[in-house]
Amino acid sequence: MTLSNLPPQVTVFGGSGFVGRHVVRALARRGYRIRVAVRRPDLAGFLQPIGGLGQISFVQTNLRYRDSIDRAVHDADHVVNCVGILFEKGRQRFDALQDFGARAVAEAARARGATLTHISAIGADANSASDYARSKGRGELGIREVLPEAVILRPSIVFGPEDGFFNKFANMSRFAPVLPLIGGGHTKFQPVYVADVAEAVARSVDGHATRGATYELGGPEILTFRQCLELMLDVIDRKRPFVSLPFGIASMIGSFASLVPFVEPPLTPDQVRLLRSDNIVSDEAKKEGRTLQALGIAPVLAEAILPSYLVRYRPQGQFTRGTA
């Protein structure tokens, strides 16, 4: 195979993360050459068996250092940015990664002449009271200013084997006598399967997404926070009563939990602020055809996937309730 006949090169920032690893898998199946840009390449080796010999490579990259970003995209045809954090720790700050970092990736992609697909989040808003949502919104604005033709994907809460939502509460139910319903548990979500999000990214790289468009990605059903926990408990065959926590009290608990060093907090004040708003696909996105279905993807129900990875939280694991 000559150099001119090589498959396109795709650089995936954050390719070893929860969503990123599924994006790498979807792209590898299509035959793309993939460069995974991560802070710790030595911890990303588990991705190599996903592709063929030499198909997946790694490069050390930190979004706080522009030269490392340029190095990661120096010969890329497409760039995918999966970098995102749910809470701040150490040098991992919302603004650095999701605002300035996102803009830097767009600038590098523009300089290279590469197309860009960026994963943001439903609720991204440059004027939001939430640090997370505000940094996501400002990141989108920066991308649009630098590279107007970029495709932005905004998923709702993402579920899958490594998710930080259903896994967190399923694990909590093993030890806690009750489960908290923050704000009464009325916040609405539209859980979307991580493989569906990855497929949307791959179809964008394929050229099937409208350039310059923002897509909102949600699953086939809308569930309240309470309904999500009820579904989770049913899957893991456990019964736990719920305790309603007003937003103010939940925020106080999150403040104290965030003070514990070197431990992922179960809740942060910023996450409480996020829970004040629903996290579902907007009517505008549906009307304009900027959804998973518009990309030709039939979203998967959460209840069809959750048993495949939450089984370990059942009282007797896979042997509970006569499961195979």
Token reading at 136: 């996501």
First-to-last alpha carbon distance for the chain, in angstroms, is 46
**pLDDT confidence tier of residue 259, bands split at 50, 70 and 90:** low
Q: Is-above-0.85 flag for pTM?
A: yes
Q: Tell whether 261 is covered by a domain.
A: no
pLDDT digits (tens, 9 = 90+) for 204-215: 999 999 999 999
d(CA 299, CA 195) in angstroms, rounded, equals 9
pLDDT digits (tens, 9 = 90+) for 84-118: 998 888 788 999 999 999 999 999 999 999 999 99
Cα dihedral 281→287→291→297 (10° resolution): 130
Q: Tell whether 47 is covered by a domain.
A: yes
pLDDT at 90: 79
Does residue 272 have a pLDDT over 70? yes
d(CA 217, CA 195) in angstroms, rounded, equals 12
Cβ–Cβ contacts within 10 Å for residue 255, how many? 14
Of 16-30, 46-60, 194-208, 259-273, least confident by mean pLDDT is 259-273
pLDDT at 238: 95
d(CA 278, CA 276) in angstroms, rounded, equals 7
Whether the Cβ atoms of residue 303 and residue 230 lie closer than 8 Å to each other: no
Whether the Cβ atoms of residue 132 and residue 103 lie closer than 8 Å to each other: no
Does residue 41 have a pLDDT over 60? yes
Q: Tell whether 274 is covered by a domain.
A: no
User: Torsions phi, psi of 120, nearest 5?
Assistant: -110, -135
d(CA 41, CA 133) in angstroms, rounded, equals 28
Q: Tell whether 284 is covered by a domain.
A: no
Phi-psi region of 123 (alpha: psi -120 to 50; beta: other; left: phi over 0): left
**215 forms bridges with which residues in the sheet?**
153
pLDDT at 88: 84
Q: How many helices (H) and strands (E) does the chain have?
A: 12, 13
**pLDDT confidence tier of residue 262, bands split at 50, 70 and 90:** low
Q: Tell whether 67 is covered by a domain.
A: yes
Q: Tell whether 259 is covered by a domain.
A: no
| Average pLDDT value for the chain | 93
pLDDT at 167: 96
- Domain range for 69 is 3-149
**152 forms bridges with which residues in the sheet?**
118, 214
Of 24-38, 82-96, 141-155, 245-259, least confident by mean pLDDT is 245-259
Token reading at 312: 């370990």
**SS3 state at 79:** strand
The single residue listed with the structure tokens 């790289």 is: 205
Does residue 260 have a pLDDT over 80? no
Does residue 324 have a pLDDT over 50? no
User: Torsions phi, psi of 300, nearest 5?
Assistant: -95, 140
Across 251-276, average pLDDT: 81
Across 3-30, average pLDDT: 93
Provide the number of structural domains found in the chain.
1
Cα dihedral 228→229→232→233 (10° resolution): -150
Q: Tell whether 107 is covered by a domain.
A: yes
pLDDT digits (tens, 9 = 90+) for 189-228: 999 999 999 999 999 999 999 999 999 999 999 999 999 9
Cβ–Cβ contacts within 10 Å for residue 164, how many? 14
**pLDDT confidence tier of residue 254, bands split at 50, 70 and 90:** confident
**SS3 state at 125:** coil
If we measure between CA atoms, which residue out of 153, 119, 108 comes closest to residue 15? Answer: 119
**At 61, which CATH number?**
3.40.50.720
Does residue 263 have a pLDDT over 70? no
User: Torsions phi, psi of 307, nearest 5?
Assistant: -60, -25
pLDDT at 2: 47
Q: Tell whether 60 is covered by a domain.
A: yes
